[in-house]
Amino acid sequence: MPRSHLTALLGLILVLAHAGVAKAGEGWPRYTRQWQPVASAGARDRGKPAKTGKKRARRGTMVGWVVPDNELRASPPPRPSGNIRVYSLNYKEELETNIYNSDGSYNVPAAKEIAYVFRCRRTGEQHDIDPRLLTVLSHVYDHFGGRPLELLSGYRFQRKTTSNHFHGTAADIRIAGVRPRDLRTFVSDLDAGGMGVGLYPRVGFVHVDVRPAPSFRWIDNSRSNPDAWDKQPPRGWKRRKLES
């Protein structure tokens, strides 16, 4: 058989074989590549099953993982003093108060003062701050010798309504003279379940929130501004100049 005829015959066979495979594959489910758990923070997603232990998900410069139950406190920590001293970096305002009354009940007027300091930097809107979060912040204040907590972001009135900041259950904080990693370690040690703790080493702050279980941890090595996620308030709202 001439070489040209042999080449044409082989080409026809390949075309028919490809058509048969395509037909056989009709109706098969289509898969898209998704982020999979990986064994460690430094590992890359290769599509392989994760090893047992901490399940970490890597996406860009952020690494996050669900906290196993055996790494949580067996019981909640003792009640703190209730003292809080917070300085708002956005409004240059400082508040020192106690979240408890002398009889041990919750101090509602103090909570309203805290909500004012935690107000959204973009819109000035206020929201009640979760007492569980305030309890954590009082623990932080007690542990680090009464140094003021510098608040980078508290309540955010934003379009992303799933954010813990939107619900008044999160705060981005730092303490002068305290390494963010040390702050993150202490806050994590308070967790008996239902907390989120994020470390932002390049920006230099720690995110802390209270949430439904499970607890979550993450490290974000980006240089993002903590208020970058709420640059645009919800539809129908306009930015307004706050009274000085």
Domains of the chain, each with CATH number or no CATH: 80-230 (3.30.1380)
Give residue 159's pLDDT: 86
Looking up tokens 């799933």 gives: 162
List per-block mean pLDDT (blocks of 10 residues) for the chain, which spans 244 residues. Answer: 57 50 35 31 39 45 93 97 98 98 97 98 96 98 97 94 95 97 98 97 96 96 60 41 33
Sheet with 56-59, edge to edge strand ranges: 56-59, 62-66, 216-220, 195-200, 205-210, 170-174, 149-153, 83-88, 93-98
Q: How far apart are CA 204 and CA 174, in angstroms?
A: 7
Q: How far apart are CA 78 and CA 80, in angstroms?
A: 6
Rg of the chain (C-alpha set): 26
pTM of full prediction above 0.75:
no
